[in-house]
Every structure is written in structure tokens, then in C-alpha cells.
A and B are shown apart, each in its own frame.
Chain A
Amino acid sequence: MIEQIVFYMLASVILLSALGVVLLPGLMHSALCLGLCLAGVAGIFASLGSDFIFAAQILVYVGGIAVLILFVVLLAGSASDKVTRQINEAWLPSLLICAAFIWSFLRITAYFAGITAKSAAAPTVKAIAALLLGDYAVPFELISIVLLASMTGAVLFGRRKAQ
């Protein structure tokens, strides 16, 4: 009962703010709605009992990526951003692509919809750590190599610009 109330509240926040990202005039409003949307997703994680993913979502997406997007909007924004329309002529194809994605997601999730967890997830970081640094150590390290490569690339571009 309470779980359902919480879920529907969070889901409406996520959907409305996601619509706001696409439809609101002004880059800044879209970026703020994106932050709210990501925070709502974090709320879903928290209500499912996976507290580490909740904190990581807030830390990385709301406190990191959304803030950096806001930063870019502040740096690169212009006065016309406040009133610029967000929708251009390609709205019909993009809507169709979105519909296709939603349909495929529905097909995928329909397979898992009947399965319910036997018990509530016991939130502990130790289990995640054992998985990340034990069973899945190689993919975990591969991701860090990707991050290192992108960071090196960013430094390289920054240096070339400065010269």
C-alpha cells in the first residue's frame, strides 16, 4: 500500500520532469528538470531498498552530471535561451523512435513482470564490493580504463586549445 503510493508519486515526478526536459522553453529549465528527473530515479532506487545505488545516483547524476550541465548552460548560454522553443521540425520522427523504444522496453520487461523477489534486498555495501572486485573484476577495471582514456583525451584537447 505505502510502497505503491510512494512508487506512483515518484513515477509521476519522473514522468512530468522528463516531459519538462523536452517541452519547457529555455535551456536552464530543461537542465533543472533533468536534475529533478534523475533525483526521482534515485528515489525509486531507495524505495526498492538498494541504498548504495540511490546514493551513487544522487552523487554522480544529480550532484555531478546535472550540475555540470547547469555549469555549461551558465557559461555558454545566451539571452535568447530563455525563450527559445525546444521543439523543431523533426518532432514526428523522434516521437516515432521514442514509441519504438517504449514498445521494445515493454516487450523486454513483460518477460520479467511476473517474477517477484523472494525477499527484500538486504542493503549492504560489502556484497556489492565482493561482486565488483571479485566476480566482475575484469569488466569493472575495463570501465575504469575507458574513463582514464576519456580523461586523457580531455586533457589533450585542453592543452591543444591553450597553445
Chain B
Amino acid sequence: MTEEILQPDISGPVFNHANGRLLMPETRYWPTDMWKSPWSLPTYRRGAAVLAGLITGGAAAAWFLGEIGPRLAPVYSFIEAYALAYGVPAVLIQIFWTFIKGGILLLAPLVNALFAVWWERKISAHIQSRMGPMYVGWWHGVLQTVADGIKLFLKEDIVPDCADKIVHWLAPVVVVIPAILVFAPVPFGNELVFADIDIGTVYVFAVGGVSVMGIIMAGWSSGNKFSLLGGLRSAAQLVSYELPRTFAVLPVVMLAGTLNIAEIAGFQAGYWGGIIPRWFIFYPVVGQVAFIVFLIASVAETNRVPFDIPEAESELVAGFNTEYSGMKFALFFLSEFAYVLLSCLLMAAVFFGGGAAPLPFLEFLPSWAWFLSKVLILMFCFLWFRWTFPRFRVDRLMDFNWKFLLPVSLLNIAAGGILIWLLS
């Protein structure tokens, strides 16, 4: 008797040609039975076609544009020659050019936040069998984040009565400035780097670590015990996880023999046996361990689930940003997504060969397209984790870092040394 109820009719849904809708047999349960034969659904087929069209169109556009860096170089030299002919001093041109480049670089975290917030909401919705934002914008709620941004601009800026006013005002600034500065030495493709400095890796970890000061300031100055606890937890967590994160990159630095991120990415060009790319992730054992440690520590560094105890809503309301509203809250949000983008860029450059194509015959696409697609795939993993893993407990989080990740990453450095010795 019970078996009859538990085994529903899974003979495909009936398509009603009169109104274009699906007629579902009453014994079919949504969504488990519905997805047993997904290709019979017109919406599924249409979605797959749209996705394939987007990927093909993006690839075609990338192929048409080609490498951006060499294309823009003549534009710059033309403007420079034009300005010099009119007697503008060369120093002024340099300063102006630096500002323009900085403005372009500033777009990276801003556009990323606009896109990633929408994407995260869509991914979370589909993981939970919902639709997510659907109304604002023309297609699947693409303008939802823009509308949210306008809403945040219009919101009242609330400062609590017992807050330390100056520190409370400065905290979002201290969080967001390093989150933008940190992109300076990160490449976005071959020859697409703002500041090609020799110590890029150290710079990224150093400047990225300053944001924790802003989080502590936010937690302390709000005059709220939940904020204070959130700030404390965040300080402990970020300082701890910075160590395995830095140590995970050390074997790559040792192999490549440079701290420059663009040069590390360039070091991984080429293929073993003409098939397997020489990316660091494919170096036996050392590469995989380093990548997994870096991935875990990066998720922890960005305060995201499952490591989001600084803002665990079931324990601390919203942690260090409880007392923030409007654009100040948006700045914390912006810096979180900027650090997610930074982690993905670093992983793509350090472990996945930067702008190198995964297979030799795919090299017709420019490097920035490969870089961007690797970053997007890694960012999908970040958003995916959020809806997959439950939150850590505070003490287990610390135990996991100090008793597991740190020893593993230290051993991995030794293994990297042995690997270099074997390769030489």
C-alpha cells in the first residue's frame, strides 16, 4: 500500500499547447520528480540554450576584441604625444594617466559587487528551489542590485547614541580603502596590471590584512555587545587564517622564484606532453594541498559561510555591522565581495595559470577571457559553499586552523622544497 504512494508517476509532464503551460499529474512532486527527466521541459531546454548562447557570444566577443593591453597602448601613446605637442609637462601626463588607470581599476570591485550580489541571490534561490529576484530589470532581475543600491543611498544614516561617533564614521572607510588598494598588483590578463611591482604577493597579503582594523573599529565603536563580540571574533579569525593562507602560496613562490603575481602566472605557461597545462594545481600533491588550504583560508578571510561567525545571525544579530545602515552598511558589503573577487583572482593567477588556455587549441581566445572565466568559476564555488556547509562553532573554527590547516601548510612548504629538489 505504502509503496504505491511513494512511487509517483514519472512519465514526463504533459505540455498544454493551448496556453503553453505544463500540466502536472497530481502524483508528481515538485521539484524532485519534475527533475527526473529535465530535458522534456521546454523551460529547461530554453535555459540551456540561453546559457550556451551567452557562453558562445561571450567567446565570440572576446575573440573579436583580442588582447586589450596591446590594443590600448597606441591610444595612450597618441594622447601622450598630443599633450606633449601642446606643452603639457610629462610629469603631469604621468600623474593624470595614473589617475585614469586607478579609476579603471576602481571599477573592478564596484562592478563586481553589483554583479556578484545578484548572482549570489540567484544561486542561493536555485539551490533552494526558488526563483530569486525576477522583476527589476529586463531579464531575471538583473537590475535588482542597482535598485538595492538606490534604496541604500536613500536610507537614513543611523548612528547609535552611545557610539563613538568618529570611530563609527571611520570604520567603513578603513575597511573599504584596503579592499580597493589591494587590487593594484593583481593581473586581470597578460599585460593588464595596474602596478607591476616586484613584491605583489606580499603587498596583497599585507594590505588585505589592514581591513581587520576597520572591522574591530566597527565592532568596538557601535556601543553594542553583539558588535563587540563580532569584532573580537573577526579579529581572532582573520589574524589566524592569514597564516595558512600566506603559507599556502609559499610553495608556488618557491617554484616560480618570484613574488610578482603576473610573473607567477606567466611561469605556468606551456603544456606537459602537449596536453596537461603546467598550472600549479597539477603539480603532484603539493599543488592540490596548497590550493585546498588557500581556498579554505580564503573563505575564512572573507567572513563567509561556513566561517561567518563574526556575523553569525543566530548568535550575534549581524555581528560587527549590526549598527550600520544605508551606504555605510553597503561599504562593508562591497569590501566583502571585493575580497571574494581578490581571492578568486589570486587563485586563478597562482594556481590556474592566469590567462593561459586549458588546452593548446583553445589559445585563440585572449588571456583576459580565460582569466575572467576562471575567476567566475571560482567565484561560483565561493557562492556555492555558502549554501552547502553549516556554520562552524567558534572554538572548532580556531582548532581547525591552528591544529590542522597550519601544520598541513607548513608540511606543504617542506614538500614543495622536496619537489623543487626532485625537479632540478
Contact = CB atoms under 8 A, between A and B. Distances in A.
Contact of A52 (B167, B199, B217): B199
A59 B212 CA distance: 12
Contacts of B41: none
A38 B156 CA distance: 35
Contacts of A56: 202, 206
Interface residues of A, number: 27
A32 B212 CA distance: 12
Nearest to A61: B206
A40 B212 CA distance: 18
B216 A71 contact: yes
Contacts of A64: 209, 239
Contacts of A41: none
Most chain B beta-carbon neighbours within 10 Å: one of A29, A67, A75, A82: A67
Contacts of B91: 2
A149 B109 CA distance: 43
B305 interface: no
A85 to B, nearest CB: 17
A139 interface: no
Interface in A36-61: 39, 51-52, 55-56, 58-59
Contacts of A73: 220
Most chain B beta-carbon neighbours within 10 Å: one of A28, A73, A74: A74
B259 A125 contact: yes
Interface in B231-252: 231-232, 235-236, 239, 242
B220 A74 contact: yes
A32 B217 contact: yes
B235 A55 contact: no
A123 B235 contact: no
Contacts of B235: 67, 70-71, 74
A2 B95 CA distance: 11
B232 A71 contact: yes
A108 B182 CA distance: 37
A124 B197 CA distance: 9
A59 B202 contact: yes
A55 B202 contact: yes
Interface residues of B, number: 27
A147 interface: no
A148 interface: no
A123 B217 CA distance: 34
B205 A59 contact: yes
Interface in B182-228: 197-199, 202-203, 205-207, 209-210, 212-213, 216-217, 219-220, 228
Most chain B beta-carbon neighbours within 10 Å: one of A56, A58, A73, A75: A58
B80 interface: no
Interface of A is mostly: helix
Nearest to B166: A29
A62 B199 contact: no
Nearest to A66: B213
Nearest to B211: A63
B164 interface: yes
Contacts of A75: 232
Contacts of B209: 58-59, 62-64, 67
Given A68-B239, A71-B236, A74-B232, A55 B213 contact: no
Most chain A beta-carbon neighbours within 10 Å: one of B167, B213, B242: B213
A67 B208 CA distance: 13
A123 B239 contact: no
Contacts of B236: 71
B221 to A, nearest CB: 8
Contacts of A52: 198-199, 202
A56 B246 CA distance: 13
Contact of A124 (B167, B198, B203, B213): B198
Contacts of A70: 213, 216, 220, 235
A55 B203 contact: yes
13 contacts: A2-B91, A28-B164, A51-B198, A55-B202, A58-B210, A59-B209, A63-B239, A63-B242, A67-B239, A74-B235, A82-B164, A123-B197, A123-B199
Interface of A: 2, 28-29, 32, 35, 39, 51-52, 55-56, 58-59, 62-64, 66-68, 70-71, 73-75, 82, 123-125
Q: Which 4 A-B pairs have the closest CB atoms?
A: A63-B209, A59-B206, A58-B206, A55-B202
Given A71-B216, A123-B197, 17 more contacts: A28-B167, A52-B198, A55-B199, A58-B207, A62-B206, A63-B210, A63-B213, A63-B242, A68-B239, A70-B213, A70-B235, A71-B236, A71-B239, A73-B220, A74-B219, A75-B232, A124-B198
